[in-house]
Amino acid sequence: MSIQPGDTVPDIAIQIADGQIRPAQTGDLFASRKVLLFGVPGAFTPTCSNKHLPGYAKHFTEFQRRGISVMCLAVNDAYVMQAWAASQDVPAGLFMLADGNASFTRALGLELDGSAFGMGLRARRFALYAEDGVVRLLQVDAPGELRVSSAEAMLDAIAR
């Protein structure tokens, strides 16, 4: 079962790739702030690279104006996440979270078995909005879609 609104975000070790690679705890990343976390099946994959991440990069300042930190999660290693961020001109302050062992993804209950596509265990395409570590909104896209977890959809949903 996946995490739900009202649940606390699990505290799991993860890596941040933001020009340098550093360890972090998700509990600390979500504490005392508003966070929009979006998960993608994989760095450098077509929909993730052509639409999902670029949408959040494009609307990053709007999230900032609302006092919301933005984080991207993928079941990739930190070096891949760092290279992907550089290739996408990700704005400074948009955290790229590397969940190489899928520990955080599994703790959220948002894993996807991509073995049929040669991808192994990955994150489902989702967006999660939390305040002070408590989930307020969770949007999970149907397989093969990018609708409810897009930057535009989340800006609209949070405004309601």
- Find the catalytic residue in 12, 29, 35, 48: 48
Residue 48 among the catalytic residues? yes
DSSP label at residue 89: T
Q: How deeply is 22 buried, as exposed, middle or buried, from its count of CB atoms within 10 A (0-12, 13-18, 19+)?
A: exposed
Q: How far apart are CA 149 and CA 123, in angstroms?
A: 13
What element of type H or E holds 15? strand 13-17
The residues assigned a catalytic role are: 48
